[in-house]
Amino acid sequence: MAYNLKEEMSKQERFEAGHRLCAGCGAGIVCRAMMRAVDPEDQAVICNATSCLEVSSFQYPFTAWHDSYIHSAFENASATASGVEAAYNVMKRKGKIDKNVKILAIGGDGGTYDIGFQSLSGAMERGHDFTYFCYDNEAYMNTGTQRSSATPRFASATTTPPGTESVGKKQNQKDLTQIMVAHGSPYVAQTTMIGNFKDFHEKAHKAIYTEGPTFVNVLCPCPRGWQYPAETLPEICKMAVETCIWPLYEVEEGEYRLTYKPKNKLPVEEFMKLQGRFKHCFAPGNEWTIEEAQKYVDKKWEELLEKCN
């Protein structure tokens, strides 16, 4: 299908300005693009796990959402979406509804990688027809920047602070995109928003209009948790991709496809130096942390290239 980004960007907004997200937060951009990927003639139901996004976009009686919206707990956005999909199928079968409704779930990494993983895994295994978007800001930003399983190794968080006996989080982050592929989902994608609008829009539309449980993992920087000035959001997203810390790829019916390959793969420090959460890694004596981070990224990148042939 030919994809005209200019036409997509001119669609009427379905996620409005005036929300309470922080300046420099990527979540609002993710939502605008996600809702733009729904065809204008179709309706949507959004199931939003408790998160920064939830408390910032829906404060009764005010909402930034044009479509039907359900606030779920941290742990059950996917279960909620499953129930909505089941109810929709029954109503459609009984002739009570004739509209095409797309069911979307969205949550941060805390409500996706960790607290909501059981719900997400169950929905994927059962085969419900909905799309889950994870806006991955790599920590529990809504509750105080605690580490999550999405937090990268060596990153500073309030529960993994650097100091004389610590260099930040000890473990590498969970590769949730690959875990979703292992569930047999018909479509899984990894993307980011700033600097890669076309990539995000194409993947979002493909995920929403692929039958079955689909998943899109979106790197979504947080200015407070990552400690960067709001205006550097585009550069951080770009460096995540150019260093291959966050590769852009999709897996359709088990077939891997790289959607962007950097001409010159940059060292990981180009990404890390833009954020205060890695400041300690550049202190004298901690050079080994950057070397270890580079080794891990190189290993994961080579594995992905092999899968993508």
Tens of pLDDT, residue by residue over 71-113, are: 999 999 999 999 999 999 999 999 999 999 999 999 999 999 9
Closest C-alpha to 201, from 3, 1, 25: 3
> What does pLDDT average to over the chain?
95
Is the model's pTM score more than 0.85?
A: yes
Rounded alpha-carbon distances, angstroms, from residue 57 to 16, 31, 120, 145, 206: 9, 10, 22, 19, 25
pLDDT, one tens digit per residue, over 39-51 is 999 999 999 999 9
pLDDT, one tens digit per residue, over 228-279 is 999 999 999 999 999 999 999 999 999 999 999 999 999 999 999 999 999 9
Given a contact cutoff of 8 angstroms between Cβ atoms, the answer to whether 131 and 160 are in contact is no
Q: Kind of pairing, strands 43-49 and 101-108?
A: parallel
pLDDT band at 1 (very low <50, low <70, confident <90, very high): low
Instruction: Please give the share of the chain, as a percent, with pLDDT higher than 70.
Output: 99
Q: Which residues contact 103 (CB under 8 A, 6 or more apart)?
A: 44, 45, 47, 81, 84, 85, 88, 128, 129, 130, 131
Q: Which residues contact 105 (CB under 8 A, 6 or more apart)?
A: 46, 47, 48, 49, 77, 78, 80, 81, 130, 131, 132, 133
pLDDT, one tens digit per residue, over 167-186 is 999 999 999 999 999 999 99
Q: HEC states along the chain?
A: CCCCHHHHHCCCCCECCCCCCCCCCCHHHHHHHHHHCCCCCCEEEEEEECCHHHHHHEECCEECECCEEEEECCCCHHHHHHHHHHHHHHHHHCCCCCCCEEEEEEEECHHHHHCCHHHHHHHHHHCCCCEEEEEECCCEHHHCCECCCCCCCCCCECCECCECCECCCCCCCCCHHHHHHHCCCCEEEEEECCCCHHHHHHHHHHHHCCCCCEEEEEECCCHHHHCCCHHHHHHHHHHHHHCCCCCCEEEECCEEEECCCCCCCCCCHHHHCCCHHHHHHHCCCCHHHHHHHHHHHHHHHHHHHHHCC
Q: How far apart are CA 10 and CA 195, in angstroms?
A: 18
| Paired tokens of 54 | 């939830």
Instruction: Please give the share of the chain, as a percent, with pLDDT higher than 90.
Output: 92
Domain ranges (residues) in the chain: 5-307
Q: Which CATH class is domain 5-307?
A: alpha beta
Backbone angles phi, psi at 114, to 5 degrees: -115, -85
- pLDDT surpasses 60 at 225: yes
What is the average per-residue pLDDT within 18-35?
A: 92
Given a contact cutoff of 8 angstroms between Cβ atoms, the answer to whether 221 and 182 are in contact is no
